[in-house]
């Protein structure tokens, strides 16, 4: 590695002009998926990719962010770093999610602006959409009402990121835009049962229930419905957007509306993938959160009409296999 504490997945030959892509949140779910996609053949000779995580720079600290950018000298940024968590962590920590994510986003975008970065692709979430909304959700609905009260801190921080993108574009900066993924899952996720996302937490609980020969408890009624996208599919969309998408308007990244599953159906698929044969119980004393978040991928498919999504059961099987094989190393 040419610089301490920063790893490069791909560096073009020195004789070729390069663009340097800095990926924040580089060791997280999406960062690792992008890294793996590049190693699997998605890289290009004119690109240098640099992945960093919180050990390299505290993105809440403006000076630390400035030093990072001076070291890497990026021409492009994929901004994935965020304070994230599942439903129950959000419920009790809305202020922390609001303040921390606002600080991270403002530091990364302002430093990108000051350093003349040509393009910044940030990551939003479908949970930022209004609680009261017509379905399917489309990009233009992002600010049409308050988000669900369970995660208003995280949601408003992400909405402000979209507003900042528009302001920086008007101020004469580069192309600052965002992708809005639906519920992402895959290898290298945070599988913490209390703080992680639903799919990752359920996989971990199924692992423990199988190991300890106990029942598998699913929080909530199992009735809410969700769309899920595999992190390896999401990585390809981010790489495409970095290279091809030239609009400040955010773009939704999700599977089709017909790929929406109830939590109960999702739990059944995880049970199958984990080969768990014990009893499954739904704990209705736990909150269900938002009932639906159905989103449209029509805009994405106009740009990528032939995009092939990994079937959900296959993606869940690959994720469960990865977790089983990497239990000692996985974030839990």
d(CA 168, CA 160): 12
* Token digits of residue 148: 């669900």
Buried-exposed string 2-23: b where 16+ CB fall within 10 A, e elsewhere: eeeebbebbbbeeeeebbbbbb
* Residue that has been written with the tokens 């809005």 in this structure: 180
* Token digits of residue 280: 């499954």
Contact in structure between 192 and 201 (CB atoms under 8 Å): yes
d(CA 65, CA 115): 11
* Helix spans in the chain (H): 29-37, 62-72, 87-92, 94-114, 152-170, 198-212, 231-244, 263-273, 298-303, 312-325
Contact in structure between 176 and 123 (CB atoms under 8 Å): no
Could you read off the pLDDT of 179-226 as tens digits, one per residue?
999 999 999 999 998 877 889 999 999 999 999 999 999 999 999 999
pLDDT by residue, tens only, the chain of 332 residues: 344 346 678 777 766 768 999 999 999 999 999 999 999 999 999 999 999 998 889 999 999 999 999 999 999 999 999 988 766 566 667 899 999 999 999 999 999 999 999 999 999 998 889 988 999 999 999 999 999 888 889 999 999 999 999 999 999 878 999 999 999 999 999 999 887 788 999 999 999 999 999 999 999 999 999 999 999 999 999 999 999 999 999 999 999 988 999 999 999 999 999 999 999 999 999 888 778 889 999 999 999 999 999 999 999 999 999 999 999 988 88
* Residue that has been written with the tokens 């192309």 in this structure: 175
Contact in structure between 178 and 161 (CB atoms under 8 Å): yes
Closest to 203 measured CA to CA, from 219, 214, 192:
192
* Residue that has been written with the tokens 């990528």 in this structure: 304
For 43, phi and psi rounded to 5 degrees? -75, 160
Structure confidence at residue 180 (pLDDT)? 97
Contact in structure between 189 and 253 (CB atoms under 8 Å): no
pTM of the predicted model, to two decimals?
A: 0.93
d(CA 147, CA 62): 28
Structure confidence at residue 88 (pLDDT)? 58
Q: At what angle do helices 198-212 and 263-273 cross, to 10 degrees?
A: 50
The H or E element containing residue 23 is strand 19-24
Closest to 234 measured CA to CA, from 216, 219, 252:
252
Hey, which CATH number is domain 7-188+228-257+295-311, 3.40.640.10, 3.50.50.60, 3.40.50.720, 3.40.50.1000? Answer: 3.40.50.720
Under the phi-then-psi rule, with left for phi > 0, alpha for psi from -120 to 50, and beta for the rest, what region is 208? alpha
């Amino acid at each position: 590695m040419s610089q301490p504490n920063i790893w490069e997945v791909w560096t073009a030959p020195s004789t070729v002009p390069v663009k340097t892509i800095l990926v924040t949140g580089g060791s997280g779910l999406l960062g690792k998926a992008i890294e793996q996609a590049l190693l699997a053949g998605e890289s290009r000779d004119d690109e240098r990719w640099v992945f960093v995580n919180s050990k390299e720079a505290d993105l809440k600290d403006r000076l630390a962010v400035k030093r990072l950018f001076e070291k890497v000298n990026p021409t492009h940024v994929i901004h994935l770093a965020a304070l994230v968590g599942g439903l129950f962590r959000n419920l009790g920590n809305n202020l922390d999610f609001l303040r921390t994510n606002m600080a991270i986003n403002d530091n990364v975008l302002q430093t990108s602006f000051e350093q003349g970065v040509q393009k910044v692709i940030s990551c939003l979430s479908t949970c930022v959409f209004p609680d009261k909304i017509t379905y399917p959700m489309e990009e233009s609905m992002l600010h049409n009402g308050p988000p669900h009260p369970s995660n208003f801190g995280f949601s408003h921080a992400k909405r402000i990121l979209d507003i900042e993108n528009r302001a920086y574009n008007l101020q004469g900066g580069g192309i600052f835009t965002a992708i809005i993924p639906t519920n992402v899952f895959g290898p290298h996720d945070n599988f913490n049962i209390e703080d992680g996302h639903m799919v990752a937490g359920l996989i971990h609980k199924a692992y423990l229930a199988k190991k300890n020969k106990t029942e598998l408890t699913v929080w909530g009624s199992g009735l809410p419905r969700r769309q899920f996208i595999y992190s390896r599919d999401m990585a390809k969309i981010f790489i495409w957007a970095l290279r091809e998408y030239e609009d400040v308007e955010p773009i939704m990244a999700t599977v089709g509306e017909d790929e929406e599953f109830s939590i109960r159906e999702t739990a059944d698929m995880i049970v199958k993938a984990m080969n768990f044969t014990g009893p499954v119980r739904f704990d209705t004393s736990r909150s269900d959160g938002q009932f639906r978040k159905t989103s449209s991928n029509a805009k994405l498919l106009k740009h990528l009409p032939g995009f092939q999504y990994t079937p959900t059961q296959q993606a869940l099987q690959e994720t469960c296999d990865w977790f089983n094989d990497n239990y000692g190393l996985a974030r839990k």
